[in-house]
Structure 1
C-alpha cells in the first residue's frame, strides 16, 4: 500500500511538472510556470527513491504503469478529454504489468 501511495504521489508530481513545461512551451503560459514545474519534478524524483524495491530500474519500470494510468486521469480531469476504450484497455494492461513487476515472486 505504501508503494502504491508513493507511486501515485510521484505520478501527480511528475505530470504536474511536465505540464508546467508544456504550458510554457505549448500554451503560452509565463516563464514563471517553470519554477513550480521544476519543484514538482524534484519532488517526483525524490518520491521514487522511497519505493520498496531492491533496484532503481525495477522501481522505475513498475512506476511506468502507474504513470500511464495517471496520465489518462490527468487527460480527463485537467484537460477535459475523456479517455476512449483503447486508452482504458492500454492502461489496464500497463497496471497488470506494473503489478507483475512489483509483486511477482522472486527467488
Structure 2
C-alpha cells in the first residue's frame, strides 16, 4: 500500500510542478524555460499515474484527486511558504479518509 501512495504522491508532485510552471510563466512573467519544465513535468505525471495497481482509470483518478488536494496544500506550505488554516487541515483529513476507503476497499477485493 505504501508503494501505491508513493506513486500517487510522486505523480501529484509532477502535476503540481507542471501547472505551477505555467502559473509562473503566464501569471508572474517568468522566463519561457518554465514552459518546458511544465510540459516535461506533465508528461511525467501522466506516465506515472499509469503505474498504479488498479484495473480502472476512473477509480485511479478518483483516488488521485484526493491525493492531489492534499499534495497541493503541502505545496502551499513548502513552496509558497503559506500556513495552513483549520479548514485546510479539516478538509485534508476528510479527503484522506475518502482516499483510504476507495484505495483499501478496492485493493482487498471488497465489493458491494
TM-score normalised by the chain length of structure 2: 0.92
CA deviations 1:29-61 (Å, max 9, x no partner) are: 112210011100000000100001110000010
Structure 1 segments, 4+ long, off by >6 Å, are: none
The alignment partner of 2:29 has SS state of coil
Tell me how far apart the structure 1 counterparts of residues 111 and 21 of structure 2 sit (CA, whole Å): 39
Superposition RMSD on alpha carbons, in Å? 0.9
How far apart are residue 87 of structure 1 and its match?
Answer: 0.5
Residue 49 of structure 1: aligned partner = 50
Aligned residues: 107
How far apart are residue 103 of structure 1 and its match?
Answer: 1.2
Tell me how far apart the structure 1 counterparts of residues 58 and 90 of structure 2 sit (CA, whole Å): 25
Residue 38 of structure 1: aligned partner = 39
Alignment of 1:6-17 (within 5 A): 6-17=7-18
TM-score normalised by the chain length of structure 1: 0.96
Tell me how far apart the structure 1 counterparts of residues 111 and 6 of structure 2 sit (CA, whole Å): 23
In structure 2, list runs of 5 or more residues that go unmatched.
none
Tell me how far apart the structure 2 counterparts of residues 46 and 99 of structure 1 sit (CA, whole Å): 23
How far apart are residue 2 of structure 1 and its match?
Answer: 1.3
CA deviations 1:54-97 (Å, max 9, x no partner) are: 10000010011111111000001100111101001101111111
Residue 66 of structure 2: aligned partner = 65
